[in-house]
Amino acid sequence: MAEEFRCGFVALVGRPNVGKSTLLNRLVGQKISIVTPKAQTTRHRILGIVTRSDFQLILVDTPGLHRSDASYLNRLMNQAAIAGLDDADLVLFMTEALRWNERDQRVLEILKSRDRDIVLVINKIDQIRDKQELLPFIETLSKKADFVAIVPVSARKSIGLDGLSAEILPRLPISPALFDSEQLTDRSREFRAAEIIREKLMLMLQEEVPYGTTVQIERFEKGGKGYVISALVWVARAGQKKIVIGSKGSMMKKIGEAARRDLKRFVGEPVHLELWVKVKEKWADNEMVVKSMGYELS
């Protein structure tokens, strides 16, 4: 190891759907957080760990900060995002190129109330045809706070990530590694399997239905020809159960097939996947139920 080994927590913070999970996955080099075009895809605080000979970068993917405190789950998500911020040595504040709005401003006000160095990361620059348009946008944002750096990137296309790393690494504290060098995340295989299944629910279900779902793994065992995984899909209303199952089980079959493919890549072996749908009325409003389903601040 290098004489001055650096290790620290870097929080990825921003409004929903600005690309935090995509950035974490690119920097780690493996899919750790699920990604969909829908807001509130990330519900947990998730660590992605990058270890090299001279540093260990611990990225903290947080739920998108949002206004709604309508349910206990929403309040917990906001608390998880703020807790990730408070524990960080450095903050990456993510926004979208040419798309600043009141939700970004709200997140920035929260950040400014904390004593943390902030790198402004302007994501999705690949969607801007005329890059000259970025210059006045960057100039405007530079006046909103005392950012230690402003870095335009495209997380999806891995543009600008070397420059971003160059801003992050010197700002990590000198410290020994906190995790094993082979470890990529703090989350269990059961958690990651449940998230893979929930990603397919988010992608394939429409309107409010995916927001009323969550997934619990009941069985994750090595079988004769691979793994056997059984999961419960919880929904908030009886009508949502019918939608998730679909006509003659068509939607559940489609979700299961897509999840099975990703789970096979995840475990590196064939997967026999069993999915069941159950109703727990208004589960996201019930603190005890939410916690029993694995939602917590840590």
Amino acid 259 reads A
User: pTM for this structure?
Assistant: 0.89
List, for residues 19-69, the tens digit of each pLDDT value: 999 999 999 999 999 898 887 788 888 999 999 999 999 999 887 776 656
CATH of 6-171, one of 2.60.120.620, 3.20.10.10, 3.40.50.300, 3.30.56.10: 3.40.50.300
List, for residues 180-202, the tens digit of each pLDDT value: 999 999 999 999 999 999 999 99
Please report which residue ranges of the chain form alpha helices under DSSP H.
20-28, 72-86, 102-112, 134-142, 161-168, 189-204, 238-245, 250-267, 287-292
List, for residues 266-278, the tens digit of each pLDDT value: 999 999 999 999 9
Three-class DSSP category at 30: coil
Three-class DSSP category at 52: coil
How far is 247 from 277, CA to CA, in rounded Å? 14
List, for residues 134-180, the tens digit of each pLDDT value: 999 999 999 999 999 999 999 999 999 999 999 999 999 999 999 99
Mean pLDDT of the chain, nearest integer:
91
What does 121-176 look like in DSSP terms, one character per residue? Answer: EEE-GGG-S-GGGHHHHHHHHHTTS--SEEEE-BTTTTBSHHHHHHHHGGGSPB--
What is the assigned CATH class of domain 189-292?
Answer: alpha beta
List, for residues 210-238, the tens digit of each pLDDT value: 888 999 999 999 988 899 999 999 999 99
Q: Where are the domains of the chain?
A: 6-171, 189-292
List, for residues 247-259, the tens digit of each pLDDT value: 999 999 999 999 9
122: confidence class by pLDDT, cuts 50, 70, 90? very high
Instruction: Give every strand in the sheet of 227-235, ordered side by side.
Output: 214-222, 227-235, 271-279
- The per-residue pLDDT for 70 is 67
1: confidence class by pLDDT, cuts 50, 70, 90? very low
297: confidence class by pLDDT, cuts 50, 70, 90? low
Share of the chain above pLDDT 70, in %: 96
How far is 270 from 267, CA to CA, in rounded Å? 8
- The per-residue pLDDT for 66 is 60
Cα distances from 221 to residues 90, 139, 171, in angstroms, run 39, 54, 42
